[in-house]
Amino acid sequence: MTIVSDDITRMHVGAIVNAANESLLGGGGVDGAIHRAAGPDLLKECRTVGPCPTGEARITAGYRLPAQYVIHAVGPIWCGGGRGEPELLCSAYRSSLGLARENDVQSIAFPAISCGAYRYPIEAATGIALREVAAFLDQYSTPEQVFFVCFGEQVRAAYDRQIGEVVGPGPEHAD
């Protein structure tokens, strides 16, 4: 597991994950950036694979992106925490990793799903991301490499603070 500060559309990996909405028809934030960078064929394919319920994910090609695939995950909108938000966020990460595994994707990059427009508290969301990914990697050998891509200081700080608790301290986890 590696924490990086970057624009996810620039990542040369097997798959990047999009923080999408249920329609899969695009939006703002990382979703908008991914659609702009991939080009209009991404939206065409999304029309054929969507909609996608919250907590699930769908896979498409990456088109003009350096990544081979885009995995469109739908995280929950934060409504105070009493509407199953933690379980739905866990499920969005697990579903994405399951699709990566089924498609033999060896490297995958996640944005901080639900941490922007969907207002999930960052510390809680990044903790879920780290624990779900660590549990999956304990169980399966694919994907081999997972990047947590931070776009902003707050998300970066939250990952940096918590990664040691999940996997133990080590220089290989920072970038």
Residues that bind ligand AR6 (CB under 6 A): 7-9, 19-21, 27-31, 33, 75, 111-118, 149, 151-152, 155
CB of 149 to ligand AR6, least distance (A): 5
Question: How far is residue 88's CA from residue 76's CA, in Å, rounded to a whole number?
Answer: 6
Catalytic residue among 6, 31, 41, 175: 31
Strand partners, 70: 16, 60
Question: How far is residue 101's CA from residue 69's CA, in Å, rounded to a whole number?
Answer: 12
Residue 151 is given by DSSP the state -
CB of 26 to ligand AR6, least distance (A): 6
CB of 76 to ligand AR6, least distance (A): 9
Whether 125 and 114 have beta carbons less than 8 Å apart is answered as: yes
Q: Which is nearer to ligand AR6, 88 or 149 (CB)?
A: 149
Q: Which is nearer to ligand AR6, 10 or 142 (CB)?
A: 10
Q: Which is nearer to ligand AR6, 105 or 149 (CB)?
A: 149
Question: How far is residue 97's CA from residue 65's CA, in Å, rounded to a whole number?
Answer: 20
Kindly report whether the peptide bond that precedes residue 66 is cis, defined as omega within 30 degrees of 0. Answer: no
CB of 157 to ligand AR6, least distance (A): 12
Q: Which is nearer to ligand AR6, 2 or 142 (CB)?
A: 2
Active site residue 31: yes
Radius of gyration of the chain (CA): 15
Catalytic residue list: 31
